[in-house]
Amino acid sequence: MSKIGFWLQRIAQLLIVLLLVTFGVSLLLRLIPVDLATILLPVGTEEERDILRNELGFDKGPIGYYLQWLGNFVQGDFGKIYFSGGTEEVSDHLKNAMPRSLLLMVYTQVLALAIAIPLGVLSAYRAGRRADKIISNTLFALSSIPNFAIALLLVIFIGVKFAWLPTLGYAPISDGVWEHFKHMIMPVISLSLGLIATYTRLLRADMIAALREDYVTMAASKGLSDRRILWRHVFRPSSMTLLTSAALSMGGLIGGAIVIESIFATYGVGFEVFAAIAGRQYVALQSTVAVIALFYVFFNLVVDISSGFVDPRTRDRRVNA
């Protein structure tokens, strides 16, 4: 089978995953033992609720409702948020929240990988020696502190006591790069410390295993320096677990950074989910979860593609399979 055919098949698989996820969420909403229209319009009249039921498809069966929602979703109509004064478009909220969450996710991953990769390589190279013990124990200690605790400590010391950085809010890049980063530094640090610990441990374990391989001795017998062996011969075959783990954590960072987004008032997608749940905005919740799932699946596809470059064996094995 050709490579293009393989990727088409892979994308089709992911689309099916997306359909199943969104249908599952849709079904869960319908299983809530309350009248959705009453919740969305608590002070409306029965006629107004009937109109809403008809408009959103609540009067249809679960499948009919899902298809109507899906039809709107793919056309960019993510539904509305209902409150006593009127409605707001979910898509407007997401347009505002998504860049914040994506940037937060990207900065967190970049920082975590930039620190974890050298630490992982170093601690594998010096496995069992002092440097390795210091790195491993420090990271173990750090990873056992919950990220909101780190966030609060940062707020207290860096934000309040020394007043180096703003403790609340978000500034888009258009406000100036430094202004933007000033608001991002503390949330990014809070989110990345735990990831640094995980990534370092994964990379260390895989590199220690790879360092025992014959091809490492072979590389040494060619007269290469340790540095060249580590980076050119050991790092790449050892980075698959790290890559997979990074991909999996992306979904969590986009939608799951609720606590950190609340502490720093960054108001990203995680906060939107939280607000939708708290305000019983079920349509908004369904659409927001679907958008998170979409990004999650997209990043996993990207990692799938890049894993073929990291380890060509996986690429051809799948193509040949």
Scanning 91-99, 136-144, 163-171, 212-220 for contacts with other proteins by CB under 8 A, the matching segment is 212-220
Dist. CA 39–CA 175, nearest whole Å: 39
Break the chain down into helix, strand, coil percent, rounded to 5.
80, 0, 20
Q: Does 141 bind other proteins (CB under 8 A)?
A: no
Q: Does 168 bind other proteins (CB under 8 A)?
A: no
Of the candidates 74, 161, 222, 278, which one interacts with other proteins according to CB under 8 A? Answer: 222
- Residue whose CB is less far from other proteins, 176 or 312: 312
Tokens of 9: 């098949």
Q: Confirm or reject binding of residue 3 to other proteins (CB under 8 A).
A: no
Of residues 189 and 210, the one with the C-beta less far from other proteins: 210
Given 129, 138, 141, 146, the residue binding other proteins (CB under 8 A): 129
Q: In sequence order, which residues have a C-beta less than 8 Å from that of residue 158 and are 6 or more positions away? A: 164, 165, 186
For residue 320, what are its two tokens? 């040949």
Q: Does 224 interact with other proteins (rule: CB under 8 A)?
A: yes
* Spatial separation of the C-alpha atoms in residues 285 and 283, rounded to whole Å: 5
Backbone angles phi, psi at 81, to 5 degrees: -100, 125
Spell out a b/e string for 236-267, using b for 16 or more CB atoms within 10 Å of the CB, else e: ebbbbebbebbbebbbebbbbbbbbbbbbebb
Residue 306 near other proteins by CB under 8 A = no
CB of 237 to other proteins, least distance (A): 5
Q: Which two tokens stand for residue 17?
A: 């995953």
Q: Which stretch binds other proteins (CB under 8 A): 80-88, 110-118, 152-160, 219-227?
A: 219-227
Provide the minimum distance between the beta carbon of 233 and other proteins in the complex, in angstroms, as a whole number: 5
Q: Which is nearer to other proteins, 95 or 129 (CB)?
A: 129
Rounded to 10°, the helix 90-125/269-278 angle is 130
**Binding-site member from 213, 244, 259, 277 for other proteins (CB under 8 A):** 213
The reply on whether position 128 binds other proteins by CB under 8 A is yes
Task: Pick the binder of other proteins from 9, 236, 248, 306 (CB under 8 A).
Answer: 236
* Least distance CB 307 / other proteins (angstroms): 11
Q: Quick one: which of 51, 294, 310, 319 contacts other proteins (CB under 8 A)?
A: 310
133 binds other proteins (CB under 8 A): no
Burial zone of 319 (CB within 10 Å; 0-12 exposed, 13-18 middle, 19+ buried): middle
Contact yes or no for 65/58 (Cβ under 8 A): yes
d(CA 136, CA 229): 22
Give the residue, chosen from 57, 166, 237, 251, that forms a contact with other proteins under the rule CB under 8 A: 237
- Per CB under 8 A, residues contacting other proteins are 128-129, 211, 213-215, 217-225, 228, 232-233, 236-237, 310-313, 316
